[in-house]
Structure 1
Amino acid sequence: MELLIAWDWLSFALRWLHVVTAIAWIGSSFYFIALDLGLRKAPDLPAGAHGEEWQVHGGGFYHIRKYLVAPASLPEHLTWFKWESYATWLSGFALMAVVYYVGADLYLIDANVLEMTQPVAIGVSIASIALGWIVYDLLCRSPLGKSTTGLMLLLYVVLVAMAWGYTQLFTGRAAFLHLGAFTATIMSANVFMVIIPNQKKVVAALLAGETPDPALGAQAKQRSLHNNYLTLPVVFLMLSNHYPLAFATPYNWVIASLVFLMGVTIRHFFNTTHARKGTPWWTWAVTAAIFLAVVWLSAQKPAGEADTAGAGPVPPRLARFVDDPHFETVRDTVLGRCSMCHAAEPLWEGLAVAPKGVRLETDAEIAAHAREIYLQAGRSHAMPPANLTYMEPSERALLAAWYESATR
């Protein structure tokens, strides 16, 4: 069982790393987009310079100039912005493997959605993420890629289709996470496969005394623009696993689709403002309207739909938890201490849905979340919060003994 605790700490460490690297990547991305949009012409700009910007920070002044293609000569020191992107993707994929692939039975596969074996579910996950980049890259390189608006609209259709598709394959929580990974892979691959290689070609041309191809910069800028508009939805999707009203409701795929529109309206406000083309306050009204639509959708249930989550027999792979001699007492403890919140209709005042979408009302649900019960209530005091239901030390010991006995 100490290995299980170490594994949980590995998940925590990867999550921490992922968050830190994502902050670094998003911060530099937003900074350079704002810088690019804020560039101004000046009469004393050197040949080839597109614009300049004066900034003040940390007690000093910065004078920045941008060359649309490249300067006449390459400086000795050149800073490349790429590792933030690579580290974010690598840490994110490692985290998904540790949580969703190793714990596929609990976090990835939902038999009420689609019955799959763990290897098949993992294979579908990896293939869909890789396919996303291939389709996106082909669209960008196609004749349609010359139309910024047309391409963006088609990409949105692809994202909506993936939002729906993922909810037909995985748990709601995994569907949102995969949509975020699908999008983030496109963003990171833009850096790795297009933006940085194009910049290296420009540098190589300069070193060879040649004139760099302006199309390389234009292509890189297009991909950078896409990344700019996709960032906020990806952050939402990665945080959504804490909010079952987003991922665990019947219209979850519509909610995910609307989140991408909110990302566009918010970024349009800042991009327009940074470009000194006005202050489009109307975008916040549109964003608020979309958000209210999301809230409304989260409370809806299709007519005639029965809530069957957790119903039915215990799957064979989980039978060991129910067959364990401790289980009857464990079930009584969980029903008495946990199920008032972790239920289809929580009894605790102020809760609309079960925390993180976890229900603990049936044998199958208790068995499915055995690992979480062990870590959250058996080996730690995380649950119940502030011990509001007065779980006794002997009950926590029972939960721990049950899991350890069933997994020997």
Structure 2
Amino acid sequence: MYDFAAIGAWLEFAVRWTHVITAIAWIGSSFYFIALDLGLHRDRNLPSGADGDEWQVHGGGFYHIQKYLVAPDKMPDDLVWFKWESYSTWLSGFALLFLVYYLGAEFYLIDPAVMDLNIWQAIGISAGSLVLGWLAYDWICKSKFGDDNTRLMIALYVILVGLAWFYTHVFSGRAAMLHLGAFTATIMTANVFFVIMPNQRIVVADLKAGRIPDAKYGKIAKQRSTHNNYLTLPVIFMMLSNHYPLAFATEYTWIIASLVFLMGVTIRHFFNSMHARKGTPYWTWAVTAVIFIVIMWLSTAPMFMGDEPEEATGPALRFAEAEGFDEVHDIVLGRCSMCHAAEPAWEGLLWPPKGVRLETEAQIAKAAREIYLQAGISHAMPPANLSFIEDAERAKIVAWYEGAL
């Protein structure tokens, strides 16, 4: 039983590491090409017929880069396609969603104080929202409404705000933020898979066949790339938010999420303008700072933890009824609850770390796996063993958890 819990924790870590690596690759290449495209010199009459070029230096060497609006005279055989960075990021992200929020739905996805869902219902809403959200977004982009890019961007923002409100009224605060990020990331990867790459394949096929590609394919791909450009930074914020209860554990979580999307716009506007040599609009940083201050203010509102049920239910009930629970309950109250409480007694703490409360039997039983891994198998908790938990007490936590399995 120990091996299963430890392997599960390491599997989650491995998938998370993979997700971060692939995300770095995707975001890095995306930001690079955005900066490159905006910074190209298009005022030169290049003999190659290219639309623009730029000289760059990196790693001790110089690079001369040219961009062709259509294609060079001869299509190269070794054309590099940038797609797997996006695909692997989404696939690893969904795997992490499955491992953490689907397999641990009772702990991380469902909050009975928000909406008392069955596990299958919560997972269904989660997966269904990602699919239906993409279909709705794609339909709007392809409709007449989507012909106006400014109007479309405003509509997309309204949709994201509405979805933020929806998620916070269905899932736990932590899961709501994460799902908003997952929804946005799904749009971004689907843009690459269903729109940008197919359009590029059509253009390449036309060029190889000696046909002139229709300009609409480039226009459509550019529109979706622009959306991805402005959505990237908010996605990163959403994915990091699960480590910071101040971001997800208040009754204003959906407003905080809505403001984060605005910060994504202001920050990207600065860099896009700078890379396009259209000036350095430093006012965007002032606006970003103001928005962030508002977010900080909203986060200090009363914490929206939601009262736990008086009695443990579901899988947590097994741990509450297991042999040794009474001893573990006393250990946790004595060694952990001074910090993990609605009003922490430890000096300097204004809220429970990671939003985890360990004051009632139900809360302790529900957090059984985390207590086992953090304070039983490993010595991660308490930090620096500040509450002086003894090895014998850790052994009792291990015996209790493994005995309940």
TM-score normalized with structure 1 length? 0.96
Q: CA deviation at 1:118?
A: 1.1
Task: State whether residues 308 and 362 of structure 2, in contact with CA within 8 Å, keep that contact through their aligned partners in structure 1.
Answer: yes
On the 8 A contact 1:105/1:118 being kept in 2, the answer is yes
Q: Tell me whether 1:98 sits opposite 2:109 in the alignment.
A: no
The 8 Å contact of residues 48 and 68 in structure 1, kept in 2 or not, is answered as no
Give the stretch that moved more between structures: 214-223 or 24-33.
214-223
Using the alignment, how far apart are the partners of 2:347 and 2:15 within structure 1?
Answer: 34
1:113 aligns with 2:114: yes
Superposed CA deviations along residues 126-179 of structure 1, whole A, max 9, x for unmatched, are 000111111111111111211111111000000001111011111111111100
Q: Distance in 2 between matches of 1:103 and 1:75?
A: 49
Shift of 1:231: 0.4
- Residue 315 of structure 1, CA deviation: 1.7
Does the aligned pair in 2 maintain the 1:110–1:171 contact within 8 Å?
Answer: yes
Amino acid across the alignment from 2:367: H
Where do residues 11-22 of structure 1 align in structure 2 (5 Å cutoff)?
11-22=12-23
In 2, Cα distance between equivalents of 1:48 and 1:130: 42
1:325 equivalent in structure 2: 323
In 1, distance between residues paired with 2:348 and 2:161? 32
1:46 is displaced (CA, Å) by 4.1
Counterpart code for 2:388 = Y
Task: Report the alpha carbon displacement of residue 43 of structure 1 after superposing the two structures with TM.
Answer: 3.5
Match of 1:224 in 2: 225
Equivalence map 1:65-84=2 (5 Å): 65-84=66-85
Distance 1:34 1:358 in 2: 41
Which of 326, 336, 339 is residue 338 of structure 1 equivalent to?
336
In the alignment, the residues of structure 2 paired with residue 214 and residue 50 of structure 1 have an alpha-carbon distance, to the nearest angstrom, of: 15
Report matched runs for 1:151-162 at 5 Å: 151-162=152-163
Shift of residue 44, structure 1, vs aligned partner? 3.2
1:376 to 365, 374, 377: 374
Query: Where does residue 261 of structure 1 map in the other structure?
Result: 262
For residue 61 of structure 1, give the secondary structure of its aligned residue in structure 2.
Answer: strand
1:385 aligned partner:
383
Asked if structure 1 preserves the Cα contact closer than 8 Å seen for 2:44 and 2:52, the reply is no
Name the structure 2 match of 1:347. 345
1:250 Cα shift?
Answer: 1.0
Q: Which residues in structure 2 correspond to 1:276-295 (within 5 Å)?
A: 276-295=277-296
1:80 and 1:358 map into 2 onto residues whose CA distance is 44
**Following TM superposition, by how much is the alpha carbon of 1:25 offset from its aligned partner in structure 2, in angstroms?**
0.1
The answer on 1:207 being equivalent to 2:213 is no
Match of 2:62 in 1: 61
The 8 Å contact of residues 232 and 264 in structure 2, kept in 1 or not, is answered as: yes
Q: Which residue of 1 aligns with 2:143?
A: 142
Q: Which moved more, 1:169-178 or 1:320-329?
A: 320-329
Q: Tell me by how many angstroms 1:75 deviates.
A: 1.4
Q: Which amino acid aligns with 2:298?
A: L
1:70 and 1:202 in contact (8 A); partners too: no
Q: Distance in 2 between matches of 1:25 and 1:85?
A: 6
Q: Once structures 1 and 2 are overlaid, which stretch shifts more, 154-163 or 293-302? A: 293-302
Match of 2:50 in 1: 49
CA distance in 2, matches of 1:168, 1:308: 12
Separation (CA, whole Å) in 1 of partners of 2:309 and 2:117: 18
CA contact (8 A) 2:114 2:306 kept: no
| Residue 310 of structure 1, CA deviation | 1.8
Query: Displacement, 1:311?
Result: 4.4
Post-superposition, which runs of at least 4 consecutive aligned residues in structure 1 deviate over 6 A?
none
Q: Deviations over 1:340-369 (max 9, x none)?
A: 111111122222211111100011110110
Q: What's the offset of the Cα at 1:301?
A: 3.4
Q: Distance in 2 between matches of 1:145 and 1:46?
A: 37
Contiguous gaps of at least 5 residues in structure 1: none
SS in 1 for 2:57: strand
Q: Is the 8 A contact 1:339 1:360 kept in 2?
A: yes
1:69, distance to aligned residue in structure 2 (A):
2.7
- What CA distance in whole angstroms lies between the structure 2 residues aligned with 1:308 and 1:14? 30
> Measured at CA, do residues 52 and 316 of structure 1 come closer, stay the same or move farther in structure 2, by a change above 3 Å?
closer
* 1:180 paired residue number: 181
Contact 1:311 1:362 in 2 (8 A): no
Aligned to 1:399: 397
Q: Show CA shifts across 1:181-238 (max 9, x none).
A: 0000000011111111111101100111100111111111111111010000000000
| Equivalent residue in structure 2 for 1:315, among 300, 313, 316 | 313
1:352 & 1:227 partners in 2: Cα distance?
37
Is the contact made by 1:314 and 1:363 (CA closer than 8 Å) also made in structure 2?
yes
CA distance change for structure 1 residues 189 and 316 in 2, over 3 Å: closer, same or farther? closer
Partner SS state of residue 215, structure 1: helix
Q: Which moved more, 1:281-290 or 1:70-79?
A: 70-79
Deviations 1:55-86 (A, max 9, x none): 11111111111112333331122110000000
Q: TM-score, normalised by structure 2?
A: 0.97
Q: Judge conservation of contact 1:337–1:391 (CA < 8 Å) in 2.
A: yes
Give the distance between the partners of 1:361 and 1:46, measured in 2 at CA.
Answer: 74
Correspondences of 1:238-257 after superposition (within 5 Å): 238-257=239-258
Which amino acid is 1:352 matched to? L
Q: How far apart, CA to CA, are the structure 2 residues paired with 1:244 and 1:211?
A: 54
Shifted more, 143-152 versus 175-184: the winner is: 143-152
Question: 1:382-403 deviations in whole A, cap 9, x for unaligned?
Answer: 1101111111000100111111
Structure 1 pair 172–227 and aligned structure 2 pair: CA distance change class (3 A): same
Deviation, structure 1 residue 123: 1.0
How far, CA to CA, are the matches of 2:148 and 2:71 in structure 1?
A: 25
Q: What is the CA–CA distance in structure 2 between the aligned matches of 1:287 and 1:308, rounded to whole Å?
A: 31
1:168 equivalent in structure 2: 169
Q: C-alpha separation between the residues in 2 aligned to 1:213 and 1:348?
A: 66
